[in-house]
Amino acid sequence: MKNIFKNKIAIAVFIFPTLLIYTVVVFYPIVQTLIKSLYNWDGINLGEFVGLKHYIRLFTKDSVFKVSIVNGLLYPTITVLYQIGFGTVIALILSSKKIKGSRVFRSIYFIPSTLSTVIVCKLWLAMLASDSSNVGLINRIFMLLGINYSQNWLANGLSAIIVMAFLTAWQGIGNTILLIYTAVKSIPEQYYEAAMLDGATSFKAHRHITIPLLSETYKLLLILIISGGLRAFDHMYIMTGGGPGNATSTLTYMMYKSAYISGNFGYACSIAVTLVLECLIFTLIINRFVARERINF
Partner 1 sequence: MKKNLVRALGIAAVITLLLSACGGDTQNSTKPQSGGGTETGTGENVDTGEDVTLKLYANYSDDQEKDTLDRAIEEMKKEMPNVTVEIEPASQDDGQKLKTYAASGNLPDIFKSDGVDIETFNRSGSLVQLDEYAKEAGIVDDIADAYKDALYMPDGHIYAVPWQSPWVNSFYGNKKVFEENGVKIPQNYDEFLAAVKIFNEKGILPYALFGKEKQWCLHLYDIMVTRKAPDGIKGLDENSAKASDPDYLEAANKLIELVDAGLLSKDVFNTTYDQAKALFTSDKAAMFMTGTWALNGLEQEMGDNLVLMYYPLAPAGSEESAKWNMSGGYSQGGFSVPEYSKNKEIAAKYAVLLSRKVNDAFVALEGGSSIYKDAPKSEKELGPIMTRYIADTANFKSMSKFDWNLSNQELKTVMEDKTQELLTGSIKAEDFAKEIDAAIEETNNK
Among 105, 244, 276, 290, binds partner 1 (CB under 8 A): 244
Burial environment of residue 92 by CB neighbours within 10 A (0 to 12, 13 to 18, 19 or more): buried
Q: Is 239 in the site for partner 1 (CB under 8 A)?
A: yes
H or E stretch covering 49: strand 48-49
Alpha-carbon distance of 146 to 151, in angstroms, equals 14
Min separation Cβ 133 and partner 1, Å: 5
H or E stretch covering 126: helix 117-128
Beta-carbon contacts of residue 256 (< 8 Å; ≥ 6 apart): 233, 237, 268
- 232, amino acid identity: A
Among 119, 196, 261, 281, binds partner 1 (CB under 8 A): 261
Q: Is 13 in the site for partner 1 (CB under 8 A)?
A: no
Q: Is 132 in the site for partner 1 (CB under 8 A)?
A: yes
- 124 or 218, CB closer to partner 1? 124
Q: x/- contact string, 19-58, with partner 1 (CB under 8 A)?
A: xx-xxx--xx--xx--x----x-xxxxx------------
Q: Is 234 in the site for partner 1 (CB under 8 A)?
A: no
Strand, helix or coil at 48? strand
Q: Is 115 in the site for partner 1 (CB under 8 A)?
A: no
Pairing of strands 130-131, 134-135: antiparallel
Q: Is 131 in the site for partner 1 (CB under 8 A)?
A: yes
Among 3, 60, 134, 296, binds partner 1 (CB under 8 A): 134
